[in-house]
Amino acid sequence: MTEPLEIVRGTLDLMILKTLSWAPMHGLAILRWIEQTTRAQLEIEEGALYPALHRMEQKKWLHAEWRYTEQGRKARFYRITAGGRKQLTAELSRWTRSSAAIALVIAAKSPEGMAAR
């Protein structure tokens, strides 16, 4: 099996906001959903997830409340706020522009006169 990919810097917020755009979830559910959706190609460490969730909560992108999971455990459930939806739109736009620019570099042909080294 292939090793999981490292998360590209600056994309964790985007993935969390996108995940929560469908429904509120607790931290472990967010981790599992991203891992399942990426077919285990991305693994997010709890040590990265929870500080990101708290930071986004402080920025008012998320709202958290204590609820019970389906297994009856008490957990903090996060939901995206209106500010978070606005940030998600901005993050999606930035990601689209960045990935398109990188694709241009990857697809570029060597300019005439430049020898491959």
Residue 87's H or E segment, with its range, is: helix 82-107
Task: Please give the residue range of the domain that contains residue 51.
Answer: 14-91
Q: Is 21 part of a structural domain of the chain?
A: yes
Q: Is 90 helix (H, G, I), strand (E, B) or coil?
A: helix
Tokens 């739109």, located at residue: 89
Least Cα distance to 52 among 22, 84, 75, 74 occurs for: 84
- Report whether 89 contacts 36 (CB < 8 A): no
Q: Is 96 part of a structural domain of the chain?
A: no
Tell me, what's the pLDDT at 106? 94
- Give me the number of domains the chain comprises: 1
In this structure, what CATH number is given to the domain that contains residue 66? 1.10.10.10
For the cut 80, the answer to whether the pLDDT of residue 67 exceeds it is yes
Query: What's the pTM?
Result: 0.86
Q: Is 79 part of a structural domain of the chain?
A: yes
CA distance 98 to 50: 26
- Report whether 67 contacts 78 (CB < 8 A): no
Give mean pLDDT, residues 18-23: 97
Tell me, what's the pLDDT at 8? 78
Main-chain dihedrals φ then ψ at residue 23, nearest 5 degrees:
-170, 155
For the cut 60, the answer to whether the pLDDT of residue 1 exceeds it is no
Tell me, what's the pLDDT at 20? 98
- Report whether 94 contacts 86 (CB < 8 A): no
Tell me, what's the pLDDT at 28? 94
Neighbours of 102 (CB within 10 A): 10
Mean pLDDT, the chain, integer: 91
Tell me, what's the pLDDT at 117? 56
